Copies of this chain bind each other. A is one copy, B any other.
């Protein structure tokens, strides 16, 4: 275990060339099965580990995928992006890649500093987890290795995106409220804040339109300021019978606000939301929500990334992944 063992050492032991050892260990043609097996066994016994750097130097691939995530997404106790990150890493490992995670600091985002893992040629491609500032993204898009945006997209750019089908899911869950007999349905979220909130708003709107229900601006409640910081919710004077909240955390806040003002959920007001995070289960009552189907998103993202690494020309556009409605106790028939 102490002496460094490399292909040369194994080659010596068998009186063959390094080329033969390389072929044997990498399951390439040109070695007899018998010799291959013996070499493999010896490598195993000696605890041989291929020198990854040497391989990379020749193949020009490092078999690492970078995961870039802004500090603001990992700061809170809520850990949606972290669990996505975990899933990404599992999938990458299964595909013989490793995941290098880097957290983008606010200063670096402002100063357009490229990720270190890119500058140091440590990754073959980058998955950007969660939206970044526009100026930064424009700068980032000048890099010459494959990139994928995960969980967001930007209008002006051609970078492939993996996103949950917020529009369709929102349409579905709003529709389910309408089917339960609700005719006044509000929406909670700053619709100018992120594309995901916007899409959810539009899906909600589509459901209303299809049922000839007009949108009432009174029913649209903002949840955050321009910088994304959550603000206190101001309930409408005229109350709807149901709310579609743009995420669980806000739905959780909404339910508490409603209770404080004397409304019962779901008896007086139904609440549904998105993301199926911890907030949807610690709320009283537990919240009917949409699970983003992270599993599917992650599988798709890693598969596309590896295809792009092997063929950088190919593009995939915006890939929409359908969510699943999780029925709980916060919504009921009217």
Taking beta carbons and an 8 Å cutoff, which residues of A are in contact with B? 1-2, 49-54, 56-57, 62-64, 71, 74, 77-79, 82-83, 85-86, 89-90, 93, 98-103, 105, 116-122, 142, 144, 277-278, 281-282
Contacts and interface: CB of A to CB of B under 8 A. Distances in A.
Contacts of A62: 52-53
A118 to B, nearest CB: 7
B102 A86 contact: no
A103 B90 contact: yes
Contacts of A121: 49-53
Nearest to A59: B53
A49 B122 CA distance: 10
Closest 10 CB pairs of A and B: A79-B79, A53-B56, A82-B82, A77-B278, A53-B57, A74-B86, A52-B121, A53-B53, A52-B120, A49-B121
11 contacts: A49-B120, A52-B53, A52-B122, A53-B56, A64-B122, A77-B277, A79-B83, A86-B103, A89-B102, A98-B116, A98-B122
A260 B64 CA distance: 51
Contacts of A77: 79, 83, 277-278, 281
Nearest to A78: B278
Copies in the complex: 2
A93 B85 contact: no
Contacts of A103: 86, 89-90, 93
A78 B282 CA distance: 12
Contact of A57 (B50, B51, B116): B51
Contacts of A85: 82, 101
A189 B1 CA distance: 41
A54 to B, nearest CB: 5
Nearest to A74: B86
A269 to B, nearest CB: 21
Contacts of A116: 93, 98
A251 to B, nearest CB: 15
Contacts of A2: 144
Contact of A82 (B51, B53, B83): B83
A121 B83 CA distance: 26
Contacts of A83: 74, 77, 79, 82
Nearest to A86: B74
Contact of A278 (B49, B101, B278): B278
Nearest to A54: B57
A83 B99 CA distance: 17
A316 to B, nearest CB: 22
A82 B93 contact: no
A86 B100 CA distance: 12
Contacts of A79: 77-79, 82-83
Nearest to A276: B77
Contacts of A122: 52, 64, 98
A83 B73 CA distance: 11
A240 to B, nearest CB: 27
A293 to B, nearest CB: 16
